[in-house]
Amino acid sequence: MATAAAEKPALFPIRKRTGTAAYHLSKEAVDFGFEELERMTKRQVVTFVAEMRWGSAKEMPCPHCGTFDEHYFRPLEDRWKCKGCGKTFSVTSGTVFADRKLPLVKILKVAFSWANGASGKPALQLRRDWNVSYPTVFTLLHKLREGLLRGFNTGILCGVQEMDGMDVNGRRYKEKRNRPQAGGRTGEPKIPAHLLKPEPSPPEFVGPPDPPKHAKKAKQPADRRLLIVMRQRSVSSGKGAVATRIAIALSESAATVTAVATRFASAESVVLSDEDPSYAGFSKYFAMHKTINHSKGYALPDGTNNNQAESFNWRMRRGVEGIYLSASNKYLKDYAAEQAWREDTRRLSTSKKLRHLLHAALSVGMSLWWRGYSHGAHRGEELLVEGPMAARGRGRKAGAKPKPPR
Ligand SMILES: [Zn+2]
């Protein structure tokens, strides 16, 4: 009987769960939830955040004078008094959360909820979940993104790097949306002519015209933005990429891709890219440069592929189309930094993810871009590879009065 059961053929081949899918269903993926967070006392929350910021809740540098000591803790205020300068400070003094109005535990809850989303969580949803105003949650999320952009999207990578550029906003992006990429349909069997429906002659209306081919040198629309990504492959096979760096550019020209590559990859690196002529000079800067022709396939027979970079592009696209919905060009780099962080921490447990996020957000000092946002102090520029560019806000102009109702 046992042998007969063993020989019974499977009805369909069961796909082996590998990589991140197996991880997400494992025990280790979830080690902390809202119940645990809810159970933490006010003091435990302060200790938790202090450990993320300074690595200790006992000894820390004073944010005012820098004295490193076991400062006097004032339990009623949850603040420390500096042994050097005598000033007091809290666990968020001198960080992006300085002068916060929300209680620390609420910040932690919103941040935890946000960190758990696979490609993000909309600010409006968090607003409904946590009963906070939209501007509060919007600036809070952007402060977290600022921490990731300034504290995480930095540093030189060394190893095998995959690079790619993608249209992420603007007219060119809308034209390409939902269209198959070149190479995706090669090798399809041809349908014999006698089986095809006769073409109506002459075709009067055949839908919207195909987008024109855009030469690089042609004038590009002003709202065009490209996401340039660099991802370092893991040294162990099957683990995907381990580190991601992003940049936003106006074009995927040789100057911009070279600027990004030399900023983020060491000269000893091996860089992989597609056959775009912009990457042609890379063998000058790096130990090796390999290319993949996407019209021939997604991976060459020797295994050369650019799929880690492409996989990040898809995550970013899911974020833009499913979470942000109408991301402004001005904050595109902030959103991309968020997606890079989500991609890189995809195999961290829930508690480690929260710790990682807080550590990045609390390590960049005061917010440069979001302090006084509700009072009209907005970042005036877009952060591009070509250099900062003055950006127009979307809201009402400062001092403009709303139109009277008719
Ligand atoms: Zn001090």
| Gap from CA of 64 to ligand 1 centroid (Å) | 5
**Which residues lie closer than 8 Å to 110 by C-beta, 6 or more apart?**
102, 126, 130, 132, 137, 140, 141
Q: Which residue has the higher pLDDT, 213 or 162?
A: 162
| Gap from CA of 91 to ligand 1 centroid (Å) | 13
Domain covering 155-175+221-337, topology: Nucleotidyltransferase; domain 5 (3.30.420)
| Gap from CA of 125 to ligand 1 centroid (Å) | 40
| Gap from CA of 73 to ligand 1 centroid (Å) | 13
pLDDT in tens, 114-126: 999 988 999 999 9
272 vs 350: CA distance, rounded Å: 32
With cut-offs at 50, 70 and 90, classify the pLDDT of residue 204: low
| Gap from CA of 88 to ligand 1 centroid (Å) | 8
**What are the angstrom distances between the C-alpha of 295 and each of 183, 225, 298?**
4, 24, 8
pLDDT in tens, 153-163: 999 999 999 99
Structure tokens at 319: 């974020």
**Which residues lie closer than 8 Å to 117 by C-beta, 6 or more apart?**
323, 342
Ligand 1 is a single-atom ion; what residues have CB below 5 A from it? Answer: 62, 64-65, 67, 82, 84-85
Q: Where are the domains of the chain?
A: 30-151, 155-175+221-337
DSSP structure string for 42-76: HHHHHHHHHHHHHS-SSSEE-TTT--EE-PEEETT
Structure tokens at 2: 């046992």
1 has a pLDDT exceeding 50 = no
89 vs 97: CA distance, rounded Å: 13
Give the predicted TM-score (pTM) of the model.
Answer: 0.84
With cut-offs at 50, 70 and 90, classify the pLDDT of residue 382: very high
| Gap from CA of 59 to ligand 1 centroid (Å) | 13
Q: Are strands 60-61 and 88-89 parallel, antiparallel or unpaired?
A: unpaired
